Amino acid sequence: MNARYYTLRQADLPALFDRARGDYDVIAKRRDANGNLCYGPATSFADVDFTAEQPRLSAKACAFPQIEELTRYRREGRTFTDATPAAPARPALLFGVNMCDAAAFEILDKVFSWDYKDDPYLERRARTTLFALACDALQIDCFCDRLDFPTAAVDLIAYRRGDDYLVEVRTEKGAALAEKYAACFGPAPAAEATGPGATSPPAAKKPPLLEEARPQLSRSFDHEDWALLAGTCVGCGTCTYLCPTCHCFDIQDEGGPAEGRRLRVWDHCTGRTFTQMPAHQPRDRQFQRYRQRLLHKFWYYPERFGPILCTGCGRCITFCPVKINIRELVEYFGGLKATPPGGARRK
């Protein structure tokens, strides 16, 4: 079986899950303690919510967990033992991940293998297969149709076709999975054997955000409206921690004489302490910290390395406590819109 497209029937989903569970640690969408959608380990298909709905947190924790133990030691008397937990060995399968979350991995791969090979990330990433479920429509805050993000590293994509799915195999990893569980897949309808009618992300209706906005954005640093438009930012870590592409981290040591560990933990550049130094704070006002986050994603990083650090998932807008809208601000400071968000226009 090495076709590019297959049919996956809704009725065969449980069987596919059960077979995969035998070989993979399956991470799927499920409900948390408060009934909200999240990505989490699933051992039973009954717990799985195979939906295009977007979980609150992205899937980046599969390769870049919020807390990663780099080292752990134990001491007894004068003897120290290395108690560092072994990296997980079993392959992982992200089962039904959003495209905006799946595509982010290719962006993160580049970040974590640039000048320093980040082994904790790369090892987890290497053992992870991405089986995405494409959305049917944009939601109020998402804007993936405005961004040209890469999808080459998404191993398989399922597109809804009525009650069933058209599955596209995009990588060798994906082909291997389709082959292993061939019994769950059927041939694609002839009309779609060479290409799906609808793709994900939805075909761009407007010009890509970056290409149009970047020139003006790169001249916007001293624009006087930053202080007002980003002035309501409270400096929490919500946007950063929920973002599929944000990757800032801190190294922390915890513990005491008997036992301790060195951790990598998520950090957020929107926080006051991110650039706080004893002698100096280069970003003293909150709007400067928000401005940095936006420009890093849409100007500094793409200018140096190519990809935009965004897949348009919209979580940073939906869950921002003050509903600051990065998309609107990129459009305004990028000269694509004459009126700033909220109409706070200078006459």
Partner 1 sequence: MTPLNAELQAAVRRLFDDGRIQYFLGYVEDYGHTFPAILTPASDLARLTFDRRSYHNLARFLDEVRGAKVGLVCKACEVATLNVLAAENQLARENVVVVGVPCPAMVDPGRLNADSSVPAGDDPALWQEKCRRCPERNTPDADVFVGERVSTPPPAPGWPLLEEHERRSPAERRAWLAAQLALCIRCYACRLVCPLCYCRQCFVEDNKPQWLDKSADGENNLHYHVIRALHLAGRCIECQECSRACPVGIPVDLFNQVLSRDFAQRFGFAAGRAPDQKAALVDYQRDDKEDFIL
Which residues form the interface with partner 1 (CB under 8 A)? 32-34, 36, 56-57, 66-67, 139-141, 228, 231-232, 234-238, 240-242, 250, 252, 254, 263, 265-266, 268, 271-273, 286, 317, 319, 321-325, 327-328, 339, 341-347
> Both tokens of residue 258?
């008997």
* Cα 211 from Cα 77, distance rounded (Å): 62
Which of residues 109 and 141 has its CB atom nearest to partner 1 in the complex?
141
**Cβ 35 to partner 1, closest distance in Å?**
8
- Whether the Cβ atoms of residue 28 and residue 39 lie closer than 8 Å to each other: yes
Which of residues 112 and 266 has its CB atom nearest to partner 1 in the complex?
266
Q: Which of 121, 111, 101 is nearest to 305 (CA)?
A: 111
Angle at 61 (CA atoms; ends 240, 117), nearest 5 degrees: 95
**Cβ 330 to partner 1, closest distance in Å?**
13
Q: Which of 290, 269, 299 is nearest to 341 (CA)?
A: 290
**Cβ 211 to partner 1, closest distance in Å?**
21
Which of residues 307 and 340 has its CB atom nearest to partner 1 in the complex?
340
Backbone dihedral angles phi then psi of residue 277, each to the nearest 5 degrees: -120, 165
Which of residues 3 and 248 has its CB atom nearest to partner 1 in the complex?
248
Which of residues 118 and 328 has its CB atom nearest to partner 1 in the complex?
328
**Cβ 248 to partner 1, closest distance in Å?**
13
**Sheet with 156-161, side-by-side order of all strands:** 37-41, 25-31, 92-97, 128-133, 156-161, 164-169, 5-8, 185-187
Which of residues 237 and 335 has its CB atom nearest to partner 1 in the complex?
237
| DSSP secondary structure, 112-156, as one string | TTSSS--HHHHHHHHTEEEEEE--SS--SS--GGG-----TT--E
Q: How far is CA 165 from the centre of its chain?
A: 23
**Cβ 320 to partner 1, closest distance in Å?**
8
> Both tokens of residue 83?
């108690």
**Cβ 306 to partner 1, closest distance in Å?**
28
* Cα 308 from Cα 326, distance rounded (Å): 13
**Cβ 325 to partner 1, closest distance in Å?**
5
Which of residues 81 and 276 has its CB atom nearest to partner 1 in the complex?
276
Which of residues 82 and 224 has its CB atom nearest to partner 1 in the complex?
224
Q: Which of 319, 318, 324, 299 is nearest to 309 (CA)?
A: 299
Which of residues 268 and 293 has its CB atom nearest to partner 1 in the complex?
268
> Both tokens of residue 297?
């994603």
**Cβ 264 to partner 1, closest distance in Å?**
10
Which DSSP state fits 296? I
**Cβ 52 to partner 1, closest distance in Å?**
13
With b for 16 or more beta-carbon neighbours within 10 A and e for fewer, the 120-136 pattern comes to bbeebbebbbbbbbbbe
